[in-house]
Amino acid sequence: MTSRLFGTAGIRGVTNSGITPELAVQVARAYADWLHAHGRDSGSVGVAHDTRWGAELLARAAASAFASAGFHVQFYGCVPSPVLSLNLARTGQDGGLMVTGSHMPPDRIGLVLLHRDGAIAPYAVTDQVEKILAGESFREVPPQRIGRLEEAFHPYELYISESVKAVDARLCRSKKFRVVADPANGTASYIAKEFFEWLGCETELLHFDPNPVPDRPSEPRAHTVSAAIELVRREKADLGACFDVDADRVLLIDRDGVPLSEDVVGAVFARDELRPGDVCVVPVNSSGLIEQVCREAGARLEYCEVGQTAAVQKIRDLGAAYSYEESGKYYFTRTYPWSDGLYSAARMLQLMARSGETAAALAARFPRFHQAKRNLPVEEGRKDPAMDALLGRLEKTLADGRARDVTVDGFKRVYEDGSWLMFRKSGTEPVIRIYTDAPSLERAEDLASRGESLLKECL
């Protein structure tokens, strides 16, 4: 399949234009037919949505379609993606559909299929669902086989109960941490305060009124969470936790109001989680810091393509013990096969409680790596020839100190000093991306400039 409808996190597009109720119905019917073909004749599925315009409309359309295909539907309403995932996994449902735009602008949304274990459905599933969609012919279900459509009550009770058991809540409570939580007016608005209070935290919220248009950009990045940074400093909080609209990713802020690099947080968790012989999966654009952590832990590092679906597929294939994405998604796969921003924040509080150190001190154990990114405009039809020419030139160019080359989702050259240079075709824009990562900013910028110049020569 040369061009997938299901991308790195479901089918995404403009709400009520690219992503319509009609499409939601078709996707649900196609997934129901796939489930039926794989032995689930009349099972049950879960459906939920985020706070965006049209999200409930699309979710209810999908729920009705599942019921029309003979599946009983638990409609969870407006909940974080991890809450839906946990309820699917623990109640034995056959699959699910989450309607969410995640970190995207408020007029964009996505239809995300979930596997029965709560994780995003892998390409092995969504590719087959696409074939059913393309056929535009769905099973006919007689009236007596139509499924029930029920509202799910109290989905948060199971989530909080499980999450609190999955960390050392008693130890966390003894520390009486102060936490600032910023749900971006999204789904975590309904649960963040209660969640952290169960861990004994005195919790301050901001941007907590559910709203289709968040008071800050949904994607939690250092440059988008200035209000949370200010509140952490003013309240002298021990930790700040900023989420996206569906709460599967998180940006953490230390007690000094300094946002922690997602790569560094990924390394902090990796050092705690990995054991000798474990497998760690990360996207190919992750910092070289994770290579050092895996080497010290005696764990095997495996790279995957960029994106949640590719990461989850690789985790499944290799039985990985841990994974993270630079976007702020952390996978503690011994506990859950999905990313959960709230649970990740709880894991950081647990580390702080056990070590007696601040989040900043935990991060300071690691050397700092610096990144540089460039986007070079390249027309769609010229991307492949440009990359072919580039690979030919790289056989002898920019080769000093080369340790190895990685050809996953582009081309990445790793150097003996721990730095790397990567070229990757964008799947959504007419550009080729140039990424670098190095122990010094000067080295990162130099590699980016030289890589950009080389690519320009190839055009």
Q: What DSSP string runs through 311-358? A: HHHHHHHHT-SEEEETTTEEE-TTT-SS--HHHHHHHHHHHHHHH---
In the chain, what are the domain boundaries? Answer: 11-153, 158-253, 262-363, 370-458
Query: For the chain (length 459 residues), average pLDDT per consecutive 10?
Result: 77 94 97 90 89 97 97 97 96 96 93 96 93 90 94 92 95 98 98 97 97 96 97 97 98 97 96 98 92 95 90 94 96 96 98 97 93 92 93 94 91 92 86 93 96 94
Q: How far apart are CA 383 and CA 393, in angstroms?
A: 15
Q: How far apart are CA 381 and CA 137, in angstroms?
A: 33
Q: How far apart are CA 169 and CA 359, in angstroms?
A: 18
Residue 325: the pLDDT is 95
- pTM for the model stands at 0.92
Tokens of 142: 């007689």
* CB-based contacts of 316, cutoff 8 Å, min separation 6: 119, 122, 337
CATH homologous superfamily for 11-153? Answer: Alpha-D-Glucose-1,6-Bisphosphate, subunit A, domain 3 (3.40.120.10)
* Average pLDDT for the chain: 94
* CB-based contacts of 408, cutoff 8 Å, min separation 6: 284, 303, 304, 305
Residue 428: the pLDDT is 67
Residue 1: the pLDDT is 42
- The CATH number for 262-363, chosen from 1.20.1250.20, 3.40.50.720, 3.30.420.40, 3.40.120.10, is 3.40.120.10
pLDDT tens-digit map of 167-219: 999 999 999 999 999 999 999 999 999 999 999 999 999 999 999 999 999 99
pLDDT tens-digit map of 149-159: 999 988 999 99
Tokens of 310: 């590719």
- Cα dihedral sign, 148-149-154-159: positive
Contact 409, 433 (CB under 8 A): no
Residue type, 279: V
Classified by CATH at the fold level, domain 158-253 comes out as Alpha-D-Glucose-1,6-Bisphosphate; Chain A, domain 3 (3.40.120)
The domains spanning 11-153 and 158-253 adopt the same CATH topology: yes
- Rounded (to 5) percent helix, strand, coil in the chain: 40, 25, 35
Q: What DSSP string runs through 401-439? A: TEEEEE-SSSEEEEETTS-EEEEEE-SSSSEEEEEEEES
Max intra-chain CA distance, the chain: 71
- The CATH number for 370-458, chosen from 3.30.310.50, 3.10.450.30, 3.40.640.10, 3.40.50.300, is 3.30.310.50
Starting at the earlier edge strand, list the strands of the sheet with 402-406.
370-377, 431-438, 420-425, 411-415, 402-406
End-to-end CA distance of the chain: 27
Q: What are phi and psi of 244, to 5 degrees?
A: -90, 180
